[in-house]
Every structure is written in C-alpha cells, then in structure tokens.
Amino acid sequence: MDQLRLKIAMLIARSAGFLSKSLGRGAGETLPGRVLLALCPNAIELLSASRVVILVSGTNGKTSTTKELASQVRTVGTVVTSGSGSNLTRGVAGALMKDSVFAVLEVDELHLPAVVAATNPALVLLLNLTRDQLHRMHEVKRVAARWHEMCKAADPSTAFIADVDDPFVNYSITGAASAIRVSFGGAAHGRHPDGAVCPSCGRYLDWNSGKYHCDCGLSNEYADHVFDGGSAGYRNFVLASIAADLAGVHNALSNIELRNDFRGMERATEKVFAGVKARLRLTKNPASWTEALQGVTGNNVILVLNAREVDGIDTSWIWDVSYAFLAGKKVVVTGERGADLAYRLHVEGVESTLVDTFDQAIAVFGVGSVEVLAAYTAFFGLVNR
C-alpha cells in the first residue's frame, strides 16, 4: 500500500516539477519534493530504505562538502545528491526521486534530526556549528542540544564523522553509539569564535592554541584521526574524504595533507559583469566572512549585504568581523543592507563607497577584476544571472 501510494505521489510530483519548469516558474528543485511530501509524508523513509545514505550538515561548507563527497563516491556507484542549497526536507525528498546506490545529501542544521530519523543513514558528517541566522536558530547551543539528542537516538548502525575541534560538534556526538572523532590539532585561529562556554556543562572553557579541555570531560585532545591544520575548505575536504574512504572509494585518504585538490571547495565562482571580471565568494555569518576575507588578494573589492530570511534578518553580527585588513583597498559596498556594512567599516577606519545596486558597484570599477563577497541571497542572485 505504501509503495503504491509512493509511486503515484512520485508520478504527480514529477509532472508538477516538469510543468513548473516549462512554465518558467523556476523552483524546479524544491517543488517536486514539496508535492511528494504532501502526497506521501513518509516518502523520505521509503525512498531511503534501499540505498546507502550519507548526510552532510553544519553551519558552513555544506554545499561544497556535499558536492565533493558526491563526486568522490560516484567513482564506486551511482549517486543522487542535493540540488545547490536545497537542504530542507523537501529538497531531500526531491533528490531521492531518482534510483541510485548512494544518496549524498546536504541537510539544514535544524532539519537534520528529522532527516536522520527518516533515512537511517550510514554516515553523517558534522562539519561545524557557529552563529548563523540567529533569528531562526536563536542560539548555537540550542542547535547543538538538538544534535546531541539526535546522536543519542540514532540507530547504532549510523556513524557520525565529527570535527571535534568544534566543541559544539564534539558535545553533539557524546552519547552517539558510533562516532569518528577527527581533529586538526586544534580550532582555527586558536579558539572557536562562540566557544567560551562548555556546551556540555556550562563551565567556562579555557582555550590554549585551539585546544580545550573541560572538567566535565569534553575535550579535543583525543581523536580517532589527527590531521594537520588548514583552511575551513581543507577541513571539510578531509571529512568528506574519510566518508568516501568508508564508502569504498580507493585511495580517498592517501597523502591527504599534501594534496591541494580541496581548493575547488572554497566556493569562489568567476563571472564577468559589464566587462569586469568578478570572483564571487559566499559570506553569510561571522565565521564565513572571516574565512572569505582571508582569501582576498586583490585591491578591488565589492561587499554585498542582504538580510532576507536565509541571510539572517538581523545584521548585528557584522560587528563581530574585523574588516581592518581592507583598509587602503578600493571598497564598494552595496546590497539591501549596504548602509549597515558601510557604517561598520567606517568605524573601523575602512572608507568605502556606498551604492544602491550591484551594477552601480561594478560601474565604479569599469574595467579589470574585482573580488566580490556576497551574502547568501545576493551570491545566488549573481551566480544565476
């Protein structure tokens, strides 16, 4: 009965997706999944049953890590994977509509517990948890607490691959039946930006060169795998490669610290706008801004700040990023909340030109090349232009 219901629901969902695409309505990614779940609420469970499911979640790097892992796993079997950024349950349902041996899926942090329960995954990659969209997540600790419950409740056959240099991730996996603890010799920049308090017991966490050890036992001094440190992109690449190795990919981990094929994961897209060559980077919270600013090498910079739902509707966090590094460069600021950012730069001694639209920002440069750091909605708006 379930299978028949599923078959009919998939048929209707596919037609809806096809119709939506041919009418030019877009949403080809999420509409079929949405229709499928409406008609068959347990579709994710039914569609996961016969394949190896690997989930990827965390505040930053979900999309690039999922893409990397999917391409590695594809060498040993057929793979379905998430459409770019469609990481809510409807995106997961949509991705599962095609047959495959593996499903490699990106999942939103708050949706992860439900997706773990529904898919009974073989592997779950927990990348990191930092402040993001606080109007929706409220507190980092709140997300970690949900992950903690999720790990405790998960089937023993599910293994969690976790970067334990992040105390929130480390706390999440305490209580998991099966966890692979990965450390990079300590958190980047010496400490986790939101990690002053032990997420497990509430004591003050003293950091020492990226290491922490709480009296309650939470610590990143013990790990199953220890790698050299590196950028966020490199860390996620290593986690993806551990998962690929477990999925049977040959040589996934060989010489991993010497390779630089993770560079493709640092999401920068090149595109030309009105004759100006732009390198676009996604920046959506303090951690990803800090990471992206370190990658700025040129003198021409455009910063775009929006504050729609997925960007986070509160912009207060921009004060937790240091932009001092941009002083002396030619900086143009735009976006729906460009004024917030221009004033924040101003107070830090970085003068910028504030303009209304991205095209005006490009026109300020006219020729040459520019590095663009853009908020979530602005980034995808520009990539899809």
Partner 1 sequence: MKIVRIHNELLGTYGDRGNADVLAYRAGLAGISTTVVDVSYRDLIPHDGDIYLLGGAEDAAQILSCAALSSGALHGAVEKGAVVLAICAGFQILGKTFYANGVEQRGLGLLNISTVPGDKRYVGDIKIHPDLLGVELTGFENHGGKTILGAGTQPFGNVVVGHGNGDSGVDGAISGNIFGTYLHGPVLARNPEFADLLLSRAHGAPVQVNDVLADHYAQLRRRVVK
Q: Which residues bind partner 1 (CB under 8 A)?
A: 131, 134-135, 138-141, 194, 196-199, 202-204, 206, 313-320, 339-340, 342-344, 346-348, 354
CB of 263 to partner 1, least distance (A): 31
Give every CB contact of residue 338 below 8 A, 6+ residues apart in sequence. Answer: 303, 304, 305, 354, 355, 356
CB of 193 to partner 1, least distance (A): 9
Report the alpha-carbon distance of residue 60 to residue 109 in Å, rounded. Answer: 10
CB of 191 to partner 1, least distance (A): 9
Give every CB contact of residue 54 below 8 A, 6+ residues apart in sequence. Answer: 69, 73, 102, 103, 104, 105, 121, 122, 123, 124, 125, 243, 247
CB of 57 to partner 1, least distance (A): 20
For partner 1, which is the closer residue by CB, 222 or 319?
Answer: 319
The distance from CA 29 to its chain's CA centroid, rounded to whole angstroms, is 18
- Residue 233: enclosing H or E segment and its boundaries? helix 232-246
Report the alpha-carbon distance of residue 168 to residue 145 in Å, rounded. Answer: 9
For partner 1, which is the closer residue by CB, 134 or 153?
Answer: 134
Question: How crowded is residue 6: how many other Cβ atoms within 10 Å of its Cβ?
Answer: 18
| Token digits of residue 56 | 């990827």
Give every CB contact of residue 322 below 8 A, 6+ residues apart in sequence. Answer: 290, 348
To the nearest 10 degrees (0 to 180), the angle between helices 286-294 and 232-246 is: 100
For partner 1, which is the closer residue by CB, 250 or 346?
Answer: 346
CB of 196 to partner 1, least distance (A): 4
CB of 58 to partner 1, least distance (A): 19
For partner 1, which is the closer residue by CB, 132 or 291?
Answer: 132
For partner 1, which is the closer residue by CB, 135 or 271?
Answer: 135
For 235, the 3-state DSSP assignment is helix
For partner 1, which is the closer residue by CB, 18 or 319?
Answer: 319
Report the alpha-carbon distance of residue 286 to residue 321 in Å, rounded. Answer: 6
For partner 1, which is the closer residue by CB, 197 or 383?
Answer: 197
CB of 365 to partner 1, least distance (A): 21
